[in-house]
Structure 1
């Protein structure tokens, strides 16, 4: 098995010390109900952000600490089917901030929601698959960025609460954003496009108090990894997956020191799998003041997989 398929869990921090890096700030996270989006939501709440989460699937509040419920607002929406859903999500986030007696603002947008393709190549990809993957992975993140830019620019211009700091945008791309060997053509093109959009936004709004960066996760224990695992026996493009599988195995498997043969079980794996929480921690860093001078970067979170 290439991926760990363990379910999402409640995140309990090891320390009881409150880290106030997000105190007074409002974050908007897409794809918040599972995987990286859920881990990001949990971590941002731990660091005192007020979080507005958006997902097309219902959110399980049992995956949040009870103490964090008051700072989390969930909006159920399909950002692909409804052209105005992205603007609506931002409007709801701004209103939620007001209800919490916080400034009407969005300090952080994390575009997490994404969908994998079936590893189809240019000669086998269907129009419907291409359109759907590009819509979820590229069109929606661009719409979300468009929707938050106005309030972020307004915030930067606010002498009282902004002081030149408009906001931070972080797009969750993939190793497939810089490689052609780990996914099908639709997913690969969508993530390459997301990196281009990230760099364009970073440059265009660099003087308006807005930073835009991307993280490039490798093989992550998330819904994307689970979807691969669940479809290995059916639904994948055989030719495309056959070509990508050895490259994926370089990340998802380790070598047994005694035999030199690839591990075949999770128990034998020595830790190359990347957790959603590890990706969330990279996102938190890019969102923090410690990264104030970092803009337009694509940060790999892949344990050196992408250096090949």
Structure 2
């Protein structure tokens, strides 16, 4: 996929998990990556790749999205690809237990911020007559039985936004697709605010999750999908090899999506 060489790619959540793997893969394929994260700079990427720029920001803050995209365009004069990867998990809360604070946090980070990011990059993509947006959704974007209500709603919303943007801008040569990872070994579990953990909700949904994961020698559930598996799917959708793929939802879950 050499056709992503020298393309300017924005990756949110670049300091860990799928975002880090995606940024690293794009850099290895000689793209120019503008990484955004609320956390610390991924130092190895910064030390190894001169084509990597890091921007630390809390994208939920007022004007943070607009400032980040302005900085990227100011440095590179264009944006070819946006990867909305940053996200948080919920505490498995259901409609009868969800608290406003948890709902608003998860919806803002997982849905509002990606929509703001798309709004911010679309003018540049329209002007340059092309671009690719990849949203990292989830199995929970098409299922009601694999996460709590906040995470499920946020990812369903992101799926809808993906389809809407794909159709609205398809005549501008702008593509918008989503990957739907299954369970992946990342640090997203650390984003759960345990004061909102709903054990009854967890016990209801987790049997569905167990159909997808393997177990280690002690019987502990272990995800079978790696961050690099998801990164390769994202890179494909960003490339010209996927130039007629628009509005698609690509499961990366070893057939979990079939149930």
Gaps of 5+ in 1: 1-18, 98-103, 157-165, 257-261
- 1:207 pairs with 161, 171, 183, which one? 171
Q: Please give the TM-score of this superposition, normalised by the length of structure 1.
A: 0.80
In the alignment, does 2:146 pair up with 1:182?
yes
Structure that is richer in helix per residue? 2
Is the 2:111–2:157 Cα contact (8 Å) retained in structure 1? yes
Bigger Rg, which one:
1
| Superposition RMSD in Å | 1.9
* Matching residue of 2:219: 264
In the alignment, does 2:198 pair up with 1:237?
yes
For the residue of structure 2 that corresponds to 1:220, the secondary structure is: coil
In the alignment, does 2:136 pair up with 1:169?
no
In the alignment, does 2:5 pair up with 1:23?
yes
Is the 2:93–2:196 Cα contact (8 Å) retained in structure 1? no
In the alignment, does 2:42 pair up with 1:60?
yes
Q: What CA deviation, in whole Å up to 9, does each residue of 1:235-279 have, x standing for no partner?
A: 52011000111111111225x9xxxxx97158xx7xx51111110
- 1:114 pairs with 83, 87, 102, which one? 87
Is the 1:173–1:191 Cα contact (8 Å) retained in structure 2? yes
Q: What CA deviation, in whole Å up to 9, does each residue of 1:154-187 have, x standing for no partner?
A: 011xxxxxxxxx1000000000000011110010
Q: Write the distance in 2 (CA, Å) between the matches of 1:148 and 1:227.
A: 27
For the residue of structure 1 that corresponds to 2:35, the secondary structure is: strand
For the residue of structure 2 that corresponds to 1:183, the secondary structure is: coil
Is the 1:203–1:296 Cα contact (8 Å) retained in structure 2? yes
Q: Write the distance in 2 (CA, Å) between the matches of 1:238 and 1:48.
A: 45
Gaps of 5+ in 2: none
* Matching residue of 1:76: 56
- 2:75 pairs with 91, 96, 110, which one? 96
Aligned residues: 259
In the alignment, does 2:188 pair up with 1:224?
yes
In the alignment, does 2:29 pair up with 1:47?
yes
Offset of 1:227 from its aligned partner?
Answer: 5.1
Q: Please give the TM-score of this superposition, normalised by the length of structure 2.
A: 0.95
Q: What CA deviation, in whole Å up to 9, does each residue of 1:125-149 have, x standing for no partner?
A: 0011111110000000000000000
* Matching residue of 1:289: 240
For the residue of structure 1 that corresponds to 2:176, the secondary structure is: strand
Is the 1:21–1:48 Cα contact (8 Å) retained in structure 2? no
* Matching residue of 1:247: 208
* Matching residue of 1:4: none
Q: Write the distance in 2 (CA, Å) between the matches of 1:130 and 1:88.
A: 26
Q: Write the distance in 1 (CA, Å) between the matches of 2:178 and 2:172.
A: 19
Go from structure 1 to structure 2 and tell me whether the alpha carbon gap of 1:285 and 1:263 turns closer, same or farther (over 3 Å shift): farther
* Matching residue of 2:255: 304
